[in-house]
Each structure stands twice: as C-alpha cells, then as structure tokens.
Chains A and B, each alone.
Chain A
Amino acid sequence: MSELPQLIVDGLVSGAVLAIAAVGVSLVYGILHLVNFAHGDYLTFGAYAGLGVTALGLSMVVATVVAVAATAALAVGLQLVLWGPVRRRRAGLLSSFITAIGLALVLRHAIFLVVGAGSRAYPVDQFSVERLGPVRVSISQLIAISLSIVAIAVIGVLLARTSIGRSMRAFADNPELAAVAGVDVGRIVLATWLVAGALAGLAGELQGLIQGAFDPNMGWNLLLPIFAAVVLGTIGNAYGALLGGFVLGLVMELSTWSVLGGGIPASYKYVVAFLALILMLLVRPQGLLGRRARAL
C-alpha cells in the first residue's frame, strides 16, 4: 500500500521542477508579452552547463551555481542581441513567437553540435535511495525538491517584498504607468530575463538529475508540459504557474496509479497532462487563479 504515497512524492518532485520552469515562462509572458518557445532549450543549456562543470571534477554544488549563472547570462545576452532589437522594430506577437521557435531550433542544434547526441548523466549515484516511511526517495529527487523549494521561496520573496519585484509586477500590470512612476523599463526587462534564465538553468539541471540520463532534446520535450502548467495556473500569473506545475506533476504521476483501472502506462503521462489542460480550458478557461484581477 505504499504505491500512492510514492506516486505523490514523485509527482511533487517532477511538479516542483515544472513549476520553477513555468514561473520563468509566465514572468516573461506577463512582463514582456513574449511567448518564449525557446525556454525549454534554456533548460537544456543549463543542464549541460552544469554537466560541463562536473566533467571538470567539480562538485554538484558548483555545477548548480554555474548552471544558474550561465543560463541567466544566456537569457540576458539574448535580450541584448536578439529580443531588444526585435522589440525596437516593433515586432508583433506572432513575429516574436516565430522568432522564438527559430531561436529554440538554433539553440538545440548548437547544443547538439557541441555535446553530441548521446545521453549523459550527472555523477550522482542514481541507485542511492533514502527510505522515508512508506516512500523511497532518491538522492537526486531530494536535491531537486529541496532546491526547488528554496527557489520558489526566493522568487516569492523577490516578487512580493523587494523593490525590483514590485516594479516587475507594476510593469506587468501597466507598463506605461510604470515608466511614468519612475521605473526604469530597460532595467525591469533585464531583471525579468535574469530571473527567468536563472530559474531555467536550475530547472534544467534538476530535470537532468531526476531523469537520470538526458540528451539535447530534454528541454524541448519538456516545453509543452511547461506551457501547460503556465496555462493551467492562469497565463501571466507567476503564482499560478507554480501551482500549475505542481498540479500537473501530480496529475501525471497519479495517472499511473494501478487502482485507477490498472493505471495508464507511464509513457502516456504527458497525454494525461494535456487532457487535464483541455479539461481545465473547457471548465475554467481563465486558469486556476484567473478570477482575480490580473496580478502576477
């Protein structure tokens, strides 16, 4: 009878990683009105940045710091050389979206070129498992859930309590008024990418950890569940994206529960995620947190 608690724990772990990736997508959409189709590949970039560090014989702690910093730098760099110029030329939503798809392909194939198509893994013992009551948790899962919780707490404090977070929410609410009120718009744009990139780097590394082995398609494969989490939790709402990530993670794992008519094969759990999304859009199109005025 330990199946259900085990599935819940697994669901929380994958949900946590989805959640921190989804927050980044949601912030970028809410503040910059950009649907970043390349976000999944930002995750892949972070995963390989971390892997590069461990290949040098350094610890996972250093790898995590580097993954976060390098992906944040990538996101800020792309704002400077790509999104900034695209915005200055007044690209519409659709042009930006197509640009993001192109960027996704370029990033993914650049990573393929550098690291090859084979699967890689972090030097973490995949078979080392802790028993916590009825459930078994791998070291990777423990790292993933604890770092995700730290990241979520940091993001929560950043958005709710700091001046830059307040400015970001103000900008999402009313960009023109934010400028009028003295907010440096350029700074907010960079801060948004910095945060979204850092979260993508962390999510990428954690996803690589909990998957065990990963290849350059990892982030791309995760992109649609991330978007589903964003929409599920109300698009543009950062707290909603967190919630959406956890709900989706749980739904995906619980769909394999054997009590539910034997459970569905694990390889179909993404399908269940999308069924959940479609159902949600039919019943509550504004998303889980959609009733409130559009707070972040």
Chain B
Amino acid sequence: MLPMLQVTGLSAGFEDVPVLDGVSMTATPGSTVAIVGPNGAGKSTLLKAVYGLARVRSGRVVFRRDGAEHDITGWPPHRLTALGLNYVPQTDNVFAALSVRENLLLGATARPRQALARMERLLVEFGPLRTVLDRPAGALSGGQRQSLAVARALMSEPVLLLLDEPSAGLAPSAVGTVFGHLARLRSEGLTIVIVEQNARLVLARADNAYVLEGGRNRYEGPGPELLQDARVVELYLGGGAHATTPATPAAADQ
C-alpha cells in the first residue's frame, strides 16, 4: 500500500536556523506513527515543516488521497487543511478570546459545508465540551483545551492528523482522556502522526515509530518493538525498562 504521507530527505528550519537535516518518514493509511527523540531532535519541526509552518530548504513531502498524489512541499496551511490534513500545536492551541463554539466552527473554515451537523456529531464524542460551548476557550482547563484543539482539527474532516505533544502539561487523568480520543480516532481509520515527549506512552500504541536525534533519522520500527530495544530505551527512555530483544535499527543515520 502506498503511504498517505511520504517525507523524503527533508531539510527545514526557521529563518536561517536549520533544524532538520534530511529526515525521511512515511505513514500508511490508517496507521498511527510516533515521532520520538530527545529534546531538540527536530520532532516538532518535522510536523511544522509538513504543515507549511517551517521553511523547507530541500526534500519533498508527498500526500496521497483517493488515488491522487499531491506534492505538498511548502504549501501554506489553509491549502493543506482543504486537502485533508490538520495539525494540533503543542501549546497555545485554542483561540482564548473566542467561545468554544466559535473555536469549533472556525475549524471548519476550509470545509464550511454542513459545519453545524459535523459539530453536533463531534459533540457526541467530545461530550464535556457541550456544557461549555458558550464559554471563552481561555477559561477552559488544560485537558478541556486539548480536547477542544483536537475537536477543532476534526471539524475540517481530516484524513491525516498531525499532533504535537498532546500530553504536554496535562494532569494524568487528562492525558488518559486525550489518548482515549486518539484510540477512537484510530479505530475510525484516521491516519495519525504524533510527536511525544512521553515516548513510552506513545510507542506502546504506535504501528510504526521514528526516533530522531539532532535533526536526523536514528531508528525506526514498529512502536512496541522500539520500546523493547535496549539502545532506544537507554538513549531516549531513561533506561530502567525490561529491554531484552534488540530490534532492527532500520535506517539509522544516513
């Protein structure tokens, strides 16, 4: 099966600061792909570069949907949203001054048809948001904000969702709620690329995972396997796990 998202040799950064140095990755339709690695590895930048928020200097990003192939390298976000991608930033990811309802409707800007019906459907899954619809999003708790940010992204009916550290700064119970949403979205067939600081949490759930270090690919493999890989555990997970089976270090430094 051809990948839905295919990143090849991507070098990108901000202004004149290069961050990514030839990173490659793919996500097949319906899979959950984790991007892990130490601080400053370029995980978030990878998502931003795919979503047109970082400056791409070389490399290619290809998106496939319904048999059509789009070279989306360097496209601006609103065109990507219309094509079926969406991205949830790590922080500052709701419009604090707008009501929850307006936040949701805003998510449908790129696909305005039947936005209200879609919002109603989403409010079945994101029940707690219904009770705060008319409150400004700035008044929500951290967990509610994260739910709102994900729900807003879903308002554009994406087939590929890019998530930047959805667990950052959340209380453990809220982390559970957010990952519950993700499990459901995955079962509904959404393709997810997720960056997480909490690598254990995400590797256990990822069909495939990439370990980045210093802006380059380091390891890749099925999530649970990487979780068992002694070197990965030692390097990025702080040791202490029952690392027994060494997994394949696919596509290490190129």
Contacts and interface: CB of A to CB of B under 8 A. Distances in A.
B112 A163 contact: yes
A181 B138 contact: no
Interface in A191-242: none
Interface residues of B, number: 30
A172 B106 CA distance: 13
A73 B187 CA distance: 51
Nearest to B153: A181
Given A173-B96, A174-B95, A181-B107, A166 B102 contact: yes
A180 B96 contact: no
B203 to A, nearest CB: 26
Nearest to A164: B109
Contacts of A163: 105, 109, 112
Interface in B68-102: 76-78, 81-82, 86-87, 89, 92-98, 102
B106 A174 contact: no
Interface in A144-178: 163, 166-167, 169-170, 172-174, 176-178
A180 B53 contact: yes
A169 B98 contact: yes
Q: Which of A169, A170, A176, A185 has the most CB of B within 10 A?
A: A170
A170 B98 contact: yes
A182 B107 CA distance: 7
Contacts of A176: 53, 89, 92
B109 A167 contact: yes
Interface stretch (A54-62, A129-137, A252-260, A288-296): A288-296
A280 interface: no
A177 B92 contact: yes
Contacts of B77: 179-180, 182
Contacts of A177: 89, 92-95
A180 B97 contact: no
Contacts of B111: 182
B74 to A, nearest CB: 14
Contacts of B76: 179, 185
Contacts of B105: 163, 166
B38 interface: no
B141 to A, nearest CB: 16
Nearest to B102: A166
A180 B109 contact: no
Interface residues of A, number: 22
Contact of A169 (B97, B110, B152): B97
B78 A182 contact: yes
Contacts, number: 77
B148 to A, nearest CB: 11
Contacts of A181: 81, 106-107, 109, 152-153, 156
A177 to B, nearest CB: 6
Nearest to A171: B95
A58 to B, nearest CB: 38
Contact of A294 (B53, B82, B89, B97): B97
A291 to B, nearest CB: 13
B157 to A, nearest CB: 11
B210 interface: no
A183 interface: yes
Given A180-B53, A180-B89, A170 B78 contact: no
Interface in B101-149: 102, 105-107, 109-112, 136, 138
B64 to A, nearest CB: 20
B136 A293 contact: yes
Given A166-B105, A170-B106, A296 B78 contact: no
Interface in A12-52: none
B51 interface: yes
B82 to A, nearest CB: 7
Interface of A: 163, 166-167, 169-170, 172-174, 176-185, 293-296
Given A174-B95, A176-B53, 8 more contacts: A163-B105, A170-B106, A177-B95, A178-B95, A181-B106, A293-B138, A294-B97, A296-B97
Closest 7 CB pairs of A and B: A182-B81, A182-B110, A295-B97, A184-B78, A173-B97, A182-B109, A173-B95
21 contacts: A163-B105, A166-B98, A169-B95, A169-B98, A170-B102, A173-B96, A177-B92, A177-B95, A180-B77, A181-B81, A181-B153, A181-B156, A182-B86, A182-B109, A182-B110, A182-B111, A182-B156, A183-B78, A185-B78, A293-B138, A294-B97
